Amino acid sequence: MIQSIQPAEKLTGTLTPPPDKSISHRSAMFAALAEGQSVIENYSPAADPASTLSCLAALGVDLGRDGDRITVNGKGRKKLIKPAVMLDCGNSGTTMRLLSGILAGAGVDAVLTGDDSLSARTMKRIVEPLSQMGGSITAKSGEFAPLKISGHHGIRGMRYPLPIASAQLKSAVLLAGLYGEKPTEVVEAVPSRDHTERLLGLKSEPFGTGKVIRSSLSDEIPLQNYRVPGDFSAAAFWLVAGSVRPGSEIALKKCGMNPTRTGAYQILKLMGADIEVLNPGMAGSEPVADLVVRSTELKPVSPDPALVPNSIDELPVLMVAMCFANGISKITGAEELRHKETDRLDAMGKILKAAGADFELSEDGITIEGSPSFKPKPVQYPSFHDHRMAMAAAVMATAAGRESSVLDAECTAISYPDFWTHLSELSA
């Protein structure tokens, strides 16, 4: 599908971002491992969390769905069954990596596969620690899907310093650790998303600049009864769009404001963005709030690399914001972008080049010379079949002088099925 985008004089309106994808995945998985019925409201309608539900059903989990409400009758951590088919994770790295931790810990015979994009992403980072713990897991060429998981002779608790800041790697190890008699300790030097620890109620304690998180067979897995908050990663596209289009004002309702997810908010505030936080509260163990963004001239920024892990999914649209900042911005420490659905550094380089931006890529980041008067070229942007590339290009295109378009725009359904509708509503 080719999506046309008309230039927007300003963006105004109120909307609720889609349900948080990361929390949706975890809520369903953890509900399946709990003993008893969980009811989860506002479950994500996106394609990735749907992959998680189909995989859980294949593992014998009894679940039902009524709109955005899912009911999961948990089997307990030891009663997942051998699936009759390969577990298709679609495009979802979260599904594949977290389920691998659970199944390697449980010793359930299963094969996990995915689409071409997911099958090209390395899984070596989870295969190695899960194998060290006693799990039986093998990958094509040692690092790619399909992943084959088999029974084992017991999970060994271990102390595991995270080699990179990765919530998926951290979660895979902790989930396997739930099957070990002795605790598994994950040492996290640089904070990453902590939804797994929050939703499972895992014990942790400070360690240097980070923390140590523990899991073991003695941890009771709680039922998952709550309403999933709005996805901050989705809201970030509107925070940037509202900041750079003069005269804009966008209200975003019930956004997740977990401090391990809001690095992009901190970066935008450093750039001078006018973002107001209203009605703070809690949705289960997760902080939420309403946000209002108003247009303003942005300053250049070179964010601390420590902010990068907690803004990794938002960095593409932050690069768009930097094109409109008054000076030179620089991102470093973002090499992880090269291992997403596509090489997002290279992909954003192609999008920025098409737009006519002044930038220079490096191995782990980018330098952008921005200007408040920057006017993107009205072109046809590639999406690289990557939802975040498509949405970042769309935000860029709202500032062009004439109609632009995005190729393969249907890929936004991976995380934000209503994105194009919401863009049209705000542009009207």
What's the rounded mean pLDDT across residues 306-312?
90
- 219 and 288 share one domain: no
What's the rounded mean pLDDT across residues 24-33?
98
| Type of residue numbered 397 | A
Q: How far lies 81's CA from each of 76, 224, 269, 271, in Å? A: 11, 21, 48, 51
- 261 and 332 share one domain: yes
Q: What is the DSSP string of 20-47?
A: PHHHHHHHHHHHHHSEEEEEEES---SH
Instruction: Please enumerate in sequence order all residues whose Cβ is within 8 A of that of 259, keeping only pairs 6 or more positions apart, or say none.
Output: 287, 310
Q: Per-residue confidence at 152, pLDDT binned at 50, 70, 90?
A: very high
pLDDT (0 to 100) of residue 165: 87
Kindly provide the residue ranges of all beta strands, DSSP E only, lying in 108-225, ordered along the sequence: 110-113, 136-140, 144-150, 159-161, 184-188, 204-207, 210-215
Q: Work out the percent of the chain whose per-residue pLDDT is above 70.
A: 100
Across the chain, mean pLDDT equals 96
Inform me whether the pLDDT recorded for 276 exceeds 90: yes
Among 226, 258, 291, where does a domain finish? Answer: 226
pLDDT (0 to 100) of residue 207: 87
pLDDT (0 to 100) of residue 157: 96
- 313 and 210 share one domain: no
- 105 and 77 share one domain: yes
Q: Determine contact, residues 318/264, Cβ cutoff 8 Å.
A: yes
Inform me whether the pLDDT recorded for 208 exceeds 90: no
Kindly provide the residue ranges of all beta strands, DSSP E only, lying in 304-421, ordered along the sequence: 328-331, 358-362, 365-369, 380-381, 404-406
What's the burial of 220, exposed, middle or buried (CB within 10 Å: 0-12/13-18/19+)?
exposed
Inform me whether the pLDDT recorded for 253 exceeds 90: yes
CATH code at position 11: 3.65.10.10
Kindly provide the residue ranges of all beta strands, DSSP E only, lying in 190-241, ordered along the sequence: 204-207, 210-215, 226-227
pLDDT (0 to 100) of residue 313: 93
- 336 and 278 share one domain: yes
Tokens of 339: 């291992």
Q: Per-residue confidence at 210, pLDDT binned at 50, 70, 90?
A: confident
pLDDT (0 to 100) of residue 416: 95
| Type of residue numbered 70 | I
Inform me whether the pLDDT recorded for 306 exceeds 90: no
Q: Per-residue confidence at 151, pLDDT binned at 50, 70, 90?
A: very high
What's the rounded mean pLDDT across residues 256-278?
97
Q: Is 313 a catalytic residue?
A: yes
Among 210, 226, 242, where does a domain finish? Answer: 226
Inform me whether the pLDDT recorded for 284 exceeds 90: no
- 352 and 412 share one domain: yes
Among 203, 226, 249, where does a domain finish? Answer: 226
- 343 and 266 share one domain: yes
- 64 and 200 share one domain: yes
Q: What is the pLDDT of residues 321-360, one digit of tens each?
A: 999 999 999 999 999 899 888 999 999 999 999 999 999 9
pLDDT (0 to 100) of residue 325: 98
Q: Determine the Cα–Cα distance for residues 151 and 259; give it in Å rounded to an integer.
A: 38
Q: Determine contact, residues 146/100, Cβ cutoff 8 Å.
A: no
Evaluate the CA torsion angle 317, 269, 228, 305 in order and state its sign.
positive
- 283 and 414 share one domain: yes
Could you give the number of structural domains in the chain?
2
Q: What is the pLDDT of residues 122-150, one digit of tens each?
A: 999 999 999 999 999 999 999 999 999 99
Instruction: Name the active-site residue from 20, 231, 313, 386.
Output: 313
Q: Per-residue confidence at 428, pLDDT binned at 50, 70, 90?
A: confident
Q: In what order do the strands lie in the sheet with 110-113?
A: 87-88, 110-113, 144-150, 136-140
- 156 and 302 share one domain: no
Helix/strand/coil for 294: strand
Q: Per-residue confidence at 176, pLDDT binned at 50, 70, 90?
A: very high
- 251 and 379 share one domain: yes
Inform me whether the pLDDT recorded for 78 exceeds 90: yes
Q: Determine contact, residues 19/228, Cβ cutoff 8 Å.
A: yes
Inform me whether the pLDDT recorded for 424 exceeds 90: yes
Q: Determine contact, residues 256/288, Cβ cutoff 8 Å.
A: yes
Where are the alpha helices (H) located in 282-359, listed in sequence order? 315-323, 344-355
Give the residue with greater pLDDT, 428 vs 351. Answer: 351
Provide the domain limits for residue 399.
Answer: 3-19+229-427
What's the rounded mean pLDDT across residues 39-44?
97
- 57 and 10 share one domain: no
pLDDT (0 to 100) of residue 209: 79
- The H or E element that residue 92 is part of is none
pTM: 0.92
